[in-house]
Chains A and B, each alone.
Chain A
Amino acid sequence: AQTVTQSQPEMSVQEAETVTLSCTYDTSESDYYLFWYKQPPSRQMILVIRQEAYKQQNATENRFSVNFQKAAKSFSLKISDSQLGDAAMYFCAYRDSGGSNYKLTFGKGTLLTVNP
């Protein structure tokens, strides 16, 4: 079974600074997807960024980028120019590429605080 580990229960960053959230995973599959979701106090899980395992290029979405190391099974999220609105729980998630269901396996989350 696939597992996702987020080793940082909490992180903090100063506004406008850069922060990196860590995620490792375990799988025997070669083709899969990795995601970072954000859950603000409103509780709605919002997709931040997605990485396809067969793509070597790291995904980027504006101030958000990932460092995907397939051999090391590592998938970290870098937030640049942090803003107060970035404060939230961040979840790393894994999904197989095949099968009839696209179920997600989540890590325990990292609570990010942004200090003004």
Chain B
Amino acid sequence: ETGVTQTPRHLVMGMTNKKSLKCEQHLGHNAMYWYKQSAKKPLELMFVYNFKEQTENNSVPSRFSPECPNSSHLFLHLHTLQPEDSALYLCASSQVDRRNTEAFFGQGTRLTVV
């Protein structure tokens, strides 16, 4: 079982749909992250959850709504998205109370908004 698992791997949705992305980490980490990866652009940090509390929201539009019910699960709820929201959405986790730590990533969800 991989350390960070994301489902679904691919998602096509209309602009009026509501869908959710799921992320689960099996590493015992206490922080989880959502990143957006668009073509020709650096990865953009969207949200950070530290001990289940949202500690960062990088000016993300409200049509993206994160949820972190526990330290192992992270969701990204999507509604009324725009075509420019099409991208690869990556989830990551890390242990923030250790100095020498690294982020582990899932394989991402390829989202296409039509």
Contact = CB atoms under 8 A, between A and B. Distances in A.
B78 to A, nearest CB: 19
A110 to B, nearest CB: 12
Interface residues of B, number: 28
A45 B106 CA distance: 7
A102 B33 CA distance: 10
11 contacts: A43-B90, A43-B107, A47-B102, A97-B99, A100-B50, A100-B55, A100-B96, A103-B33, A106-B43, A107-B42, A109-B42
Nearest to B88: A43
Interface of B: 2, 31, 33, 40-43, 45, 48, 50, 55-56, 88, 90, 92, 94, 96, 99-108, 110
Interface of A (DSSP majority class): loop
